[in-house]
Structure 1
Amino acid sequence: MALVLENEDAMFTGDNVLGHGTAVFEDLLNRMKGAFKGRAYPGHGPVIDDGPSKIVEYIKHRQMREDQVVQILKTAREVGSDEASGSDPHEWTSMEIVKLIYKDVPENLHLPANGGITQILLKLQEEDKVVENLKTDRWSLKNRAAL
């Protein structure tokens, strides 16, 4: 949820746009960016003078992460000896994706990052671009050649 303060052309962005970190819902960000032209008042932290620009920055960051997820899903992972020989190397768990994208981030932050990656995978699934193997909790591109 976000609230517009019309007399100031500002927005109370809550936890959606904090000025740092990433936002939760991409579709909400797209709706928010055109709803005002002024400041953003986040739920925490300092006021953001140019709220729409910060929202665009968040959207670009989310697109970059989505692109990274797709790139990983296009590649084959190394199948370990402890895995079943029939394991598809083009199927990835969300945490395997996290460990590649966030390899330079402390491991204690991987679990929260997994929430964002899972959200991206669900968005891609809704767009009919990825599928989840419910037996293995692994994700793959629906059509590797098309993406």
Structure 2
Amino acid sequence: MTTTADLPGRPRAGAIGGPATARATCVLAHNPSAMTLDGTNTWIVAEPDSDLAVVVDPGPLDEAHLAAVVATAEAAGKRVALTLLTHGHPDHSDGAARFAELTGTHVRALDPALRLGGEGLGVGDVITTGGLELHVVPVPGHTADSLAFHLPADRALLSGDTVLGRGTTVVAHPDGRLGDYLDSLRRLRALTVEEGVETVLPGHGPVLEDARGAIDYYLVHRAKRLAQVETAVESGCRTPQEVVAHVYGDVDRSLWPAAELSVRAQLDYLGEHGLI
């Protein structure tokens, strides 16, 4: 779930679909919308010399898309051996059960309700299927169950909806919390400094080639929005809807319901910190 305004100052993004790094290939789902951008990015991740692959976010329950993911892996000489979920929103997870049937794989996720025959995922876990090394990074905020996956060999991060290829993401109140989200962004920024992460492979939108710049932009953008919400309250806005109209005038009105989720999360944050 996203907001889609193309805002100034974003780092340059690459193309959508196809190989993105030496180990990661995107198959774009045919579910474009205001909330999913061009569609959901399903990622096939594998070592170049291995015949086993991991799929991250099978996407919606779309038989043609799921078949395309399997076919793309097979065309590269890979068999899908494991399925992972970044979070439980339907555009990422609804196809997981059917994809597990097609591939005979387990589905691993943070939320126990989303797991199928597999273990959970948490901080410190490392996926090693087929020699691949994927580090699990909890990133709550967009949702409580959000995860990212660090791919050290490619200096890349599969970010789910925490960082997008275009626009900014929704803090999906009440499940999503702004304080958690800001902490998660700082955690991801630390990976760009300490682990050399350069590339963001997002759940929606094109690949971002400047991971640190993208995350810095998100942090600045959130700080500005938070200040705008605080100013709106001080100027007399009393309901989330009034704050949305005051703050999100630069966003298409069709996205105002999603913006309201973020506003509610921002209001909670400001209240918790005694700022309103």
Alignment correspondent of 1:114: 260
The 8 Å contact of residues 158 and 203 in structure 2, kept in 1 or not, is answered as yes
The 8 Å contact of residues 164 and 202 in structure 2, kept in 1 or not, is answered as yes
Matched, 1:34 2:190: yes
Call closer, same or farther: CA 1:39–1:64 in 2, change over 3 Å: same
**Cα distance in 2 for residues equivalent to 1:106 and 1:67:** 21
The 8 Å contact of residues 26 and 59 in structure 1, kept in 2 or not, is answered as yes
Two-structure CA RMSD over aligned residues (Å)? 1.6
Report how far residue 51 of structure 1 moved: 1.0
* Superposed counterparts of 1:125-136, under 5 Å: 125-129=271-275
Call closer, same or farther: CA 1:104–1:41 in 2, change over 3 Å: closer
Q: Classify the secondary structure of the residue corresponding to 2:168.
A: coil
Matched, 1:6 2:125: no
**Cα distance in 2 for residues equivalent to 1:93 and 1:62:** 20
> Which of 213, 217, 220 is residue 57 of structure 1 equivalent to?
217
> Which of 253, 257, 270 is residue 124 of structure 1 equivalent to?
270
**Cα distance in 1 for residues equivalent to 2:200 and 2:250:** 30
> Which of 154, 161, 169 is residue 15 of structure 1 equivalent to?
161
Structure 1 or 2: larger helix share?
1
Q: Classify the secondary structure of the residue corresponding to 2:201.
A: strand
- Name the aligned partner's letter for residue 211 of structure 2: G
TM-score where L is the length of structure 1:
0.71
Alignment correspondent of 1:98: 244
Q: After superposition, what is the alpha-carbon deviation per residue over 1:10-42, rounded to whole angstroms, capped at 9, x for unaligned? A: 211111111222233222111111113311111
- Name the aligned partner's letter for residue 184 of structure 2: L
TM-score where L is the length of structure 2:
0.40
Matched, 1:71 2:231: yes
Report how far residue 2 of structure 1 moved: 1.0
The 8 Å contact of residues 22 and 62 in structure 1, kept in 2 or not, is answered as no
Structure 1 or 2: larger strand share?
2
Q: Classify the secondary structure of the residue corresponding to 2:191.
A: coil
Report how far residue 104 of structure 1 moved: 4.3
- Name the aligned partner's letter for residue 6 of structure 1: P
**Cα distance in 1 for residues equivalent to 2:205 and 2:255:** 21
Call closer, same or farther: CA 1:48–1:74 in 2, change over 3 Å: same
Structure 1 residue runs of 5 or longer lacking an equivalent are 78-91, 130-140, 142-147
**Cα distance in 1 for residues equivalent to 2:162 and 2:184:** 8
The 8 Å contact of residues 166 and 206 in structure 2, kept in 1 or not, is answered as no
Q: After superposition, what is the alpha-carbon deviation per residue over 1:95-131, rounded to whole angstroms, capped at 9, x for unaligned? A: 10001112343433211110111111112122222xx
**Percent of residue pairs identical:** 34
